[in-house]
Amino acid sequence: MAPFVRNAIEWLDEGRNGVIGFAPGLGDAFALSKESNKNCTTTHFRDDLSVFVCTAYSDKHKDEIQDFVAEGGGLLIGGHAWSLPLSWYENIHVHAISPPQQWMEGISGIGFFVHV
């Protein structure tokens, strides 16, 4: 996993050599990135970052992060596809909205869909 994290951050930084921000609680990913000699810090979202690394389990700063990505900032989001409660999948036909983690779908061009 370490090469993937380092390569993803390198690609997202696009040679800017800017500050890479890791959301609090991502200590293992932060430790992996420190091996790459990048300027990394643990922080909540800030718009002066080159890349922001976070989980998909919160939509805190959603609008600011969407603007950040639209303006060229790098975003690395991690999460598990099975984090939703089973009841969500069992009742998918009654849900008019996407799973909570899909707030980033509109900015990333990547969609996550459930097939039942």
Please, are residues 22 and 33 in contact by the beta-carbon 8 Å criterion? yes
Residue 26: the pLDDT is 85
Residue at token pair 């990913």: 29
CATH 3.40.1010 fits 2-80, yes or no: yes
With b for 16 or more beta-carbon neighbours within 10 A and e for fewer, the 69-106 pattern comes to beeebbbbbeeeeeeeeeeeeeeeeeeeeebebbbbee
Tell me the pairing of strands 19-22 and 39-42: parallel
pLDDT digits (tens, 9 = 90+) for 11-33: 999 999 999 999 998 888 777 77
Q: Which stretch, 26-35, 69-78, 99-108, has highest mean pLDDT?
A: 69-78
Q: Point out which residues pair with 3 in neighbouring strands.
A: none
